[in-house]
Amino acid sequence: MITRIWHGRTAPQHADSYLEFLLTKGTEEYRQTPGNLSIRVWRKKEADCCHFYTVTEWEDLAAVKRFCGEDHERAVYYPEDEGVLLEFEPRVKHFETYTVSKD
């Protein structure tokens, strides 16, 4: 399993509307991509900005590439991100993911 983590920041006044975007249209393409196992959206509010992370789990690297193409470390952005995100980080992080049973 592969975990893909994207990070973005907004000004505080855009935090709620951007969260709503991420929970709906902003994660639609993830949901439609075969091999996507889960999607989580993390948010951390700070005084001067709000951090967002999308944390997605995929069957394998081939599934990740079905979502974003061969350059799988390239961040994917949407027109709605313009004017809301404070910067456009060009790369995302990927991790091999292992699950440990609680037994």
Sign of CA dihedral 89, 72, 76, 59: negative
Give the tens place of pLDDT for each residue, 19-55. 999 999 989 999 999 999 999 999 999 999 999 999 9
Cβ proximity of 2 and 63 under 8 Å: yes
Is the pLDDT confidence value at 91 over 90? yes
The phi, psi pair for 84, rounded to 5°, reads -115, -50
Q: Which domains does the chain have, with CATH numbers?
A: 2-96 (3.30.70.100)
Give the tens place of pLDDT for each residue, 76-88. 999 999 999 999 9
Dig out the tokens for 95 from the structure: 């991790």
Task: Report d(CA 11, CA 48) in Å as an integer.
Answer: 7
pLDDT, residue 82, reads: 96
Dig out the tokens for 21 from the structure: 């975007």
